Structure 1
Amino acid sequence: MNIDEVLEMLDEMLDKAPGVPFTAKKVALDADKVRDLLNEIRLSLPQEIKQAKNIVADRQDILSDANKEAESIIRKAEERAKIIVSNDEIVKEAQARSTEILNQTQEKCKNMKIEAREYIEKILDQTESLLSTNIVAVKKTKQAVRMANKNPQSTN
């Protein structure tokens, strides 16, 4: 029997016990039965205490396991957060580097266009100068041919 059952039996004994004459709340109990029940409580008490200690120990183990699990989850979450932050920083660095490379490339392209225009202009100026020189030479030759045609005697 456990303590609750024994206490329930004591309670029933009190309810069923005959009242003491001339008193309002006093009852007559069988002393041997009460002693037997008290001995039953004394015998059950160590077992009940042992069970209570086991429950408390189990509770401590459960709480300890839960705390370890919670710490593990928190640690994993923190590690994941660090990875995410790290990845975010890597992405930001890559974007910044990409923007820098794009700006440098655009600047180089702009400079190459300017240099190409200047080179083309220089070549065209040289070609124009050469053509002008050749035109002058052609005009002189043409003039010389006209003069030679007017004076046929100078030819042998």
Structure 2
Amino acid sequence: MASGVEELLDMLFEMVDEAKNMPLSSDKCVLERDRALDLIDDIRAQFPVELGEAKKLVASRNDYIAAAKREAEVIRKQAEVEAQRMLAEESVLNQAKQRSAELMRQAEERSRELKRSANEYCEDALRRTEEAVAEAYDEIKKSRARFRAAASATAAGSPSGGRAAYDAAAEED
């Protein structure tokens, strides 16, 4: 059985590529349904959990940014209300403009800071996820190499004519 997602996808591609055409049709073919579904199930099983976690992190980041935008909008609306109230009195017109501008600057600054924090958090989380996936991938490659080496060594010393079985107990030693 294939072990890597790419290898499973290659097998599925070959199955479709080598499938026989249906009579009187060049764009339809006949596949072994169970074999194709088994390959798809194997592919799904191979995807690491980290991909799901990465999607959750991206969704969390988007939620965080949306909350920051909502907070900025509330602050902006508060600034507008405050500015309109102050504009009602002509004697404080200049003061109202200054206060409104300050509140807008604070809201924009807060929004930028929240976005920056969210981006840093997501970047760090995605970096850690990427490192975990890379480590898992390296471990899979190493395990595969050990398996092949063990299978080759067993096959070379096997009296059964090259039909060696992998001995997992020997791998643990």
Shorter-chain TM-score bucket reads: 0.3 to 0.5
TM-score normalised per structure 1: 0.43
TM-score normalised per structure 2: 0.40
Task: Compare the two structures and name the one with the higher helix fraction.
Answer: 1
